[in-house]
Structure 1
Amino acid sequence: MIMLTGSTLTLDDVKQIVYHNEEVVLANESVQNIQKNRETVEKLLTDKQTMYGINTGFGKFSDVIIEESDLDKLQLNLIYSHACGVGEPFSEHIVRAMLLLRANALAQGYSGVRPELVTQLIKYLNAGIHPVIPQQGSLGASGDLAPLSHLALALLGEGEVIYRGKRMETGEALVSIGIHPITLKAKEGLALINGTQAMTATGVVTYLEVEKLLYQSEMVAAITLEGLQGIMDAFDHDLHMVRGHHEQVEVAKRIRQILIDSDLTTNQGQLRVQDAYSLRCIPQVLGSCWQTVHYAKEKLETEINAVTDNPLIFSEENKVISGGNFHGQPIAFAMDFLKLGIAEVANISERRTERLVNPQLNDLPAFLSPNPGLESGAMIMQYSAASLVSENKTLAHPASVDSIPSSANQEDHVSMGTIAARHALQMLQNSRRVIAIELICALQAVEYRGIKQMASRTRDFYELARKIVPSITKDRVFSTDIEKLTRWLKEEEDSNTQIRLNKGGVMHEQS
């Protein structure tokens, strides 16, 4: 059970809730803070104080004063009019993260909502009721207005949800589980949709999967090193220490630990003096990729505990402040930076695949074919990897440098942070397939070299992967293998990857 306070949520908490359905409860202190904050709103309304989005219109309509009798209708109209999302829906994991992060933001007690509204979000989360939320339509400033409006619709009993794997009308799901829809009061519609939870939820899910894929890419690179009889001197501790980048030092260390007992790797001068960059520079490149991951992690850890709606109500000072905490620039930058790391994981992987299949670059059978000429082997797998890498280069264009004015130029600078996060996730999915292709080729290469000579860790990983895809003994539809291995990499629970080693595995280097 994880308790929401608004300020203590961790990325590991998010992982447990989103992926493992850990139960969520709202802290008693948060309930009190939310209630106190709501009472401030009610008092200010009684005192006829003008407050943006509470008793005024929205955006360019901020100067339009709303009659007291229409305040609840104002919030309902807001949700209806702003539910303009289009395209394919977000995954259930991302929607779960959106429900969680929206509840956590409101839990701090600065948004002027009732405790019942936050409780409704948590009820949906715990019951597995996932609103159908289209991915496209957010500018990433004024918050993720369109996506979060679709989330809000479900709280009202409208729109559609996914419940127990079935897409249905929200009302049908609520009846089956005994949850009643909520009615919005003054400020509550705006509080639900004015925030960065679509981009942040997408960013968190992407981050969690990128971290896993990076560890896996190190293991796959290690198998490729064995398949190509790579030179281990390039991973020497002293070499990396004199440059000083921590992430580079750690990648080199993990590669040394993985391959510590391999009889397939070589030393400089044994077969050749030095390897190509895609082998020799693994620590430098992947270490830099880790830097983008760490930056994104830092910004996400802040944002998942941030209050990002507008206006905010400060009960102690009895004041309402209109500001711009909904602006997604911090997450937009973080996601665009992360995209560079994702792109390079795939870029260098594809180059290693080329070295595995190109007979001009190795002494292995051409394209790892069991019968070169009659059978093409892994030839076109490299094409697919190259295509995915090229697509990533297009998606890597920074979304955060773009801005289109909206709301009659009242909202004249926006972040496009949700686009950045969505593209990062697309790139991750592409890159996972590129790593899967390298793994298929690396597995075949080490078979030619001799499985018994592999390091104990890579051999364990080899055995696991071979349960998913068999050896290439003849040409077949390799698309099936790529997709199977891609799913396995996504779903694998840290079984034999570097993740376990990084968390204190039993493997140690000899002094």
Structure 2
Amino acid sequence: MRTDAVPLPIPPARTPADLPAETPARTPARTPADLPAETPARTPARTPADLPAETPARTPAGAPVGAQAAAPAAPAGQARVLTLTGDALTPADVAALARRTLRPAVDATARDRVAGARDAALRATARKRVYGHTTGVGANRTTDVPASAADAFGMNLLRSHSGGIGPVVPDEQARAMLAVRLNQLLGAGSALGLDVVDRIADALASGHVPTLHAYGAVGTADLSALGELGLTLAGELPWSGGDPWTPPPAPVVLTHWDALPLMSSSALTIGQTALAATDLARLLDRLPLVAALTLTAVRGSAESYAAQVHARRPHPGATRLAARMRTLLADADWEAPLVQDPFGLRCLPQVHGAALEAAEALDRILGVELNAAAENPLLDADGLDYHHHGGFHQAGLALAGDQFRLALLGTAQLSTARLGVLVEPAFTGLAPYLAADVHGSSGIMITEYAAQSALAELRAFAQPVTLGHAVLSRGVEEHASFASTGARRLLDSVEPFRLVLACELLAAVRALRLRGLAPSGDGELRAFYDHADSVLDPTVADRNLTGAVTAAADLLTA
């Protein structure tokens, strides 16, 4: 954080409690307490008490794109400042900015860096041909663009590339794109105008978003979405949403210095991935609590989590998960009735540990991409030169996303396996399906079907996008990562994963109640159980369980 940041208007925000927490291994969101004392003082909130609520997020039509309803905005004064410098943004920061629990400020030194890049660009283009500035793009890279036509060419580039199709991207995801692109541009890898940077910052602060369409990228830059942003900045397309008391950003005149650099990024893909990774980190952190309740309910064995086991096969994720389970079960006071438990309990470190490692691998990729000045061509202001390259290709992000979605599927499969254990009398000593023991009651039988249905969605979303291939632009762009598709599939995975875990949580709490058991001691597991016990309806008679599963799912993100 810097003291010379340029503060922006305060947006309404959700309360900090609404932002999902992260696993210990991942970088947590910067809470108000983490902000240094020198953070610029907030300007007084300009929100009259009788102003209407924030414009609701748009509901996407057609095929799912991972949309989730936006939470109501909190009073403006509750949002704290995050200063963007171009080199320190985290996935949790993106989520906080997109969900408006933090408001952006632009680092003054970074602004100066952007402002100073134009002179270097002028010198570089005076002595060499530069893609997208003095030439056409794609297969038209051999066509020279005269200086007299350069600015018109830039606007036409935005118009021609802005033709995205399909459902409208939800506002939260559009704000995530703005946050990512703003931070990347502060790295000054191009000669884009400072006024463009300021307008994007204004939009992020006020909540205004461009109308973006989901389909138009193949993992080699989000051309259509960023083209739509460019036309919105220029005033050719309208802004949407935003604070009702704040006008949308004023139109800005875009030149050839702005057009290609603005689009030379996968900011939407990266932002969507950051949102999903942040939400899934919270669920991955909760899963051991749910599994520990299941193990407690069936009096399972903790030998699978022994330090000696994992010292001899020290995979980081499995070792960390086993240590967490030992802590949660430290007060366990029973003798396990079985020599070995089913895989859902016994192989938890290996399967869930792999998911933790996949999450960390994705987080490392995101840490680079969020702070990358990767425009093609890339301006080297110190060397007064441009470098043509392929840094826009998101092969790494696509592969990391594929790995993470496949790992999520595995750990969700184990959750459904544990649910199967909980409804089986041989493991609990209770009636089948944890039913009231009267006349063939079905108990929670339907949760098995529901969990398997949600699991089928995860299985579909886990299909690796990197199996795709495309040859485009008259054969000169002959590979694609499809990271953009992977990002949407990762967002789509959040809710079914949460619901699978919720079904297990509901069953574990019910089994513990019916057996008259509770976790021993007064540690984290007991606190989690007591909270769940206070929230979940104790009725065991046959009834509709939709609300019960929903309540359990809410506990996982509380």
Give TM-score scaled by structure 2 length. 0.80
Find 1:21's aligned residue among 88, 97, 101: 101
More off after superposition, 83-92 vs 177-186: 83-92
Which digits, 9 at most, give the CA deviation of each residue in 1:451-496, with x for residues without a partner? 4555533332233234543124223322233234334423x1xxxx
- The CA distance in 1 between the partners of 2:390 and 2:519, in whole Å, is 60
Letter in 2 for 1:446: L
- The CA distance in 2 between the partners of 1:206 and 1:178, in whole Å, is 28
Letter in 2 for 1:356: L
Cα distance, 1:49 vs. partner? 4.6
| Partner SS state of residue 3, structure 1 | strand
**Are residue 486 (structure 1) and residue 553 (structure 2) matched?**
yes
Aligned in 2, Cα 1:27/1:452: closer, same or farther, shift over 3 Å? closer
Cα distance, 1:160 vs. partner? 5.0
Question: Which residue is 1:157 aligned to?
Answer: 235
Cα distance, 1:44 vs. partner? 4.9
Which digits, 9 at most, give the CA deviation of each residue in 1:3-48, with x for residues without a partner? 2222232344334433453232222222222122112334455x38
Give TM-score scaled by structure 1 length. 0.87
Aligned in 2, Cα 1:78/1:260: closer, same or farther, shift over 3 Å? same
Contact kept? 1:247, 1:291, Cα under 8 Å: yes
- The CA distance in 2 between the partners of 1:453 and 1:178, in whole Å, is 53
**Are residue 367 (structure 1) and residue 367 (structure 2) matched?**
no
Aligned in 2, Cα 1:452/1:314: closer, same or farther, shift over 3 Å? closer
Structure 1 unaligned runs (5+)?
166-172, 493-511
Which digits, 9 at most, give the CA deviation of each residue in 1:66-93, with x for residues without a partner? 2333322222222222222233333433
| Partner SS state of residue 225, structure 1 | helix
Question: Which residue is 2:87 aligned to?
Answer: 7
**Are residue 463 (structure 1) and residue 530 (structure 2) matched?**
yes
Contact kept? 1:234, 1:280, Cα under 8 Å: yes
**Are residue 325 (structure 1) and residue 427 (structure 2) matched?**
no
Residues paired across the two proteins, number: 477
| Partner SS state of residue 177, structure 1 | coil
| Partner SS state of residue 287, structure 1 | helix
- The CA distance in 2 between the partners of 1:132 and 1:467, in whole Å, is 43
| Partner SS state of residue 422, structure 1 | helix
**Are residue 130 (structure 1) and residue 213 (structure 2) matched?**
no
**Are residue 235 (structure 1) and residue 305 (structure 2) matched?**
yes
Instruction: Indicate the structure with greater helix content.
Output: 1
Cα distance, 1:349 vs. partner? 0.4
Structure 2 unaligned runs (5+)?
1-80
Equivalent residue runs for 1:200-239 within 5 Å: 200-239=270-309
**Are residue 71 (structure 1) and residue 150 (structure 2) matched?**
yes
- The CA distance in 1 between the partners of 2:263 and 2:363, in whole Å, is 24
Aligned in 2, Cα 1:274/1:455: closer, same or farther, shift over 3 Å? farther
Equivalent residue runs for 1:356-505 within 5 Å: 356-359=422-425, 361-371=427-437, 373-452=439-518, 454-456=520-522, 457-490=524-557, 492=558
Aligned in 2, Cα 1:304/1:226: closer, same or farther, shift over 3 Å? same
Question: Which residue is 1:291 aligned to?
Answer: 357
Contact kept? 1:377, 1:472, Cα under 8 Å: no
Equivalent residue runs for 1:50-61 within 5 Å: 50-61=129-140
Question: Which residue is 2:112 aligned to?
Answer: 32
- The CA distance in 2 between the partners of 1:227 and 1:81, in whole Å, is 60
Cα distance, 1:197 vs. partner? 1.2
Contact kept? 2:218, 2:483, Cα under 8 Å: yes
- The CA distance in 2 between the partners of 1:482 and 1:132, in whole Å, is 34
Aligned in 2, Cα 1:349/1:27: closer, same or farther, shift over 3 Å? same
Question: Which residue is 1:507 aligned to?
Answer: none
Aligned in 2, Cα 1:162/1:213: closer, same or farther, shift over 3 Å? farther
- The CA distance in 2 between the partners of 1:118 and 1:200, in whole Å, is 18
More off after superposition, 297-306 vs 249-258: 249-258
| Partner SS state of residue 376, structure 1 | coil
Overall identity of the aligned pairs, in %: 27
RMSD: 2.3
Which digits, 9 at most, give the CA deviation of each residue in 1:175-209, with x for residues without a partner? 94263122211131211111121221122112111
Letter in 2 for 1:208: T
